[in-house]
């Protein structure tokens, strides 16, 4: 038996090189306002806790774990009973959520809002008849000469005939007619990543709006997937060009009223902070001024 006499210099594997990434949410941020994208992706500025976002996170957690129960036990009562425990767990993970309610009465009001959303869910689906293939599925695909596309799919169902359905829960209200493009872009984005990584194009994309009980369904096509890829490449090229120029100019709209960074925005008299050294290279993979 031969024995190597040369000892390795390190037992730890070399770290994987950082690959710039893009999610559908961040792509929509850039299209909405390049400065918003910069604050979230490059500067990584903290944002105050939003009651609506926190409630959405809580409802998603309950619906994810609802399917851990035997089918017959997946009832509205069981889902509502799980709310306090999941909320306490989220408070441990995200201490900033603790500022959302100052007393027991405010906590109960917050949880009552979550119970209403769960009640709407049970009018849209019967979870006792579903056996999801995956929940909170992290998907990613390295786009050739582009970013790493990534996201989290709320639920993936596979029918006996092999058809795949991608399901996303929205805890807000459905968009008005003509304003569905952002949500459908997200779902097509997920469909594209599933298609590229698993070789199967989802048969159906389903958005369940728990705020008003509306379900939006769409059947994607391979032609749409090629169009989606071209659009993502175009968005990423715009991000790279903006990163090189450093011109993260704001784009005002009615959404500015809900922006966490309004006080830092020059459109409203604010002053953006200096970009941290090396932050653009880490986030986008390009050097400003190059």
Judgement on whether residues 78 and 153 belong to the same structural domain of the protein: no
pLDDT band at 92 (very low <50, low <70, confident <90, very high): very high
Query: Both 111 and 89 in a single domain?
Result: yes
- Domain identity same for 149 and 79: no
What CATH number is associated with residue 193?
3.90.320.10
Give a yes or no: residue 276 inside a domain.
Answer: no
pLDDT for 4 equals 36
Verify that 150 and 238 share a domain, yes or no: yes
Same domain? For 175 and 219 the reply is: yes
> In terms of domains, do 92 and 209 share one?
no
Q: Say yes or no: 118 and 239 in one domain.
A: no
Interatomic CA distance for residues 264 and 266, integer angstroms: 7
Q: How confident is the model at residue 175 (pLDDT cuts 50, 70, 90)?
A: confident
Residues 109 and 193 in one domain: no
- pLDDT, tens digit, 9 for 90 and up, residues 218-240: 999 999 999 999 999 999 999 99
Would 25 be classed as within a structural domain? yes
Is residue 281 included in any domain, yes or no?
A: no
Q: Report in angstroms the alpha-carbon separations of 208 from 71, 91, 139, 152, 218.
A: 20, 26, 20, 16, 12
Confidence (pLDDT) at 102: 82
78 close to 30: Cβ distance less than 8 angstroms: no
Q: What is the pLDDT of residue 272?
A: 96
pLDDT of residue 17: 56
Nearest-angstrom CA–CA distance, 128 and 72: 6
Q: Are residues 107 and 231 in the same domain?
A: no
Whether the CB-CB separation of 118 and 127 falls below 8 Å is answered with no
Three-class DSSP category at 215: strand
Q: Looking at the domain assignment, is residue 120 inside a domain?
A: yes
Query: What is the chain's mean pLDDT, rounded?
Result: 92
Domain boundary among 99, 129, 159: 129
pLDDT > 70: what percent of the chain? 93
Same domain, 137 and 251: yes
70 shares a domain with 36: no
Whether the CA torsion 42, 257, 33, 191 is positive or negative: it is: positive
pLDDT over 70 at 10, yes or no: no
Convert 187-214 to b/e letters by CB count within 10 Å (16 or more is b).
bbbbbbbbbbeeeebbbbbbbbbbeeee
Give the range of the structural domain holding residue 107, as residue numbers without chain letter.
Answer: 51-129
- Give a yes or no: residue 227 inside a domain: yes
pLDDT digits (tens, 9 = 90+) for 52-88: 999 999 999 999 999 999 999 999 999 999 999 999 9
Domain stops at, among 94, 129, 164:
129
* Neighbour tally for 96: CB within 10 Å: 12
Per residue in 176-221, pLDDT (tens digit) is 876 677 888 999 999 999 999 999 999 999 999 999 999 999 999 9
Question: Which DSSP helix (H) or strand (E) runs through 85?
Answer: helix 76-93
CB atoms inside a 10 Å sphere around CB 162: 8
Whether 100 and 51 have beta carbons less than 8 Å apart is answered as yes
Give the C-alpha separation, 150 to 166, whole Å.
Answer: 15
What number is the average pLDDT over the span 162-183?
Answer: 87
Q: How far apart are CA 100 and CA 151, in angstroms?
A: 27
**CA atoms of 206 and 168, how far apart (whole Å):** 6
Q: Do 89 and 62 meet the contact criterion of CB atoms below 8 Å apart?
A: no
* 86 and 217 both lie in a single domain: no
Q: Which pLDDT score is estimated for 3? A: 33
Q: What is the pLDDT, as a whole number, of residue 182?
A: 80
2: pLDDT confidence band, cut at 50, 70 and 90? very low
Number of domains in the chain: 2
The whole model's pTM is what? 0.87
Task: Give percent of the chain above pLDDT 90.
Answer: 85
């Amino acid at each position: 038996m031969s024995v190597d006499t040369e000892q390795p210099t390190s037992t730890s594997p070399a770290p994987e090189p950082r690959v710039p990434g893009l999610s559908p949410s961040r792509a929509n941020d850039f299209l909405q306002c390049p400065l918003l994208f910069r604050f979230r992706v490059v500067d990584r500025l903290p944002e105050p806790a939003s009651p609506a976002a926190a409630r959405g996170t809580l409802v998603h957690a309950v619906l994810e774990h609802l399917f851990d129960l035997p089918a017959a036990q997946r009832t509205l009562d069981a889902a509502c009973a799980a709310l306090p425990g999941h909320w306490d767990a989220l408070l441990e993970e995200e201490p900033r959520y603790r500022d959302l309610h100052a007393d027991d009465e405010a906590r109960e009001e917050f949880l009552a809002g979550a119970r209403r959303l769960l009640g709407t869910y049970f009018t849209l689906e019967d979870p006792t008849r579903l056996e999801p293939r995956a929940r909170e599925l992290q998907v990613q695909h390295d786009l050739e000469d582009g970013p790493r596309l990534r996201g989290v799919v709320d639920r993936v169902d596979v029918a006996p005939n092999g058809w795949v359905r991608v399901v996303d829960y929205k805890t807000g209200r459905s968009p008005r007619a003509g304003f569905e493009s952002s949500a459908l872009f997200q779902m097509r984005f997920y469909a594209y990543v599933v298609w590229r990584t698993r070789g199967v194009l989802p048969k159906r994309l389903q958005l369940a709006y728990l705020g008003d009980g509306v379900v939006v369904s769409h059947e994607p096509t391979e032609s749409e997937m090629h169009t989606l890829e071209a659009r993502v490449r175009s968005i990423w090229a715009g991000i790279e060009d903006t990163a090189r120029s450093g011109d993260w100019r704001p784009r005002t709209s009615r959404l500015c009223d809900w922006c966490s960074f309004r006080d830092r925005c020059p459109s409203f008299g604010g002053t953006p902070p200096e970009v941290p050294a090396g932050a653009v290279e880490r986030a986008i993979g390009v050097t400003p001024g190059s």
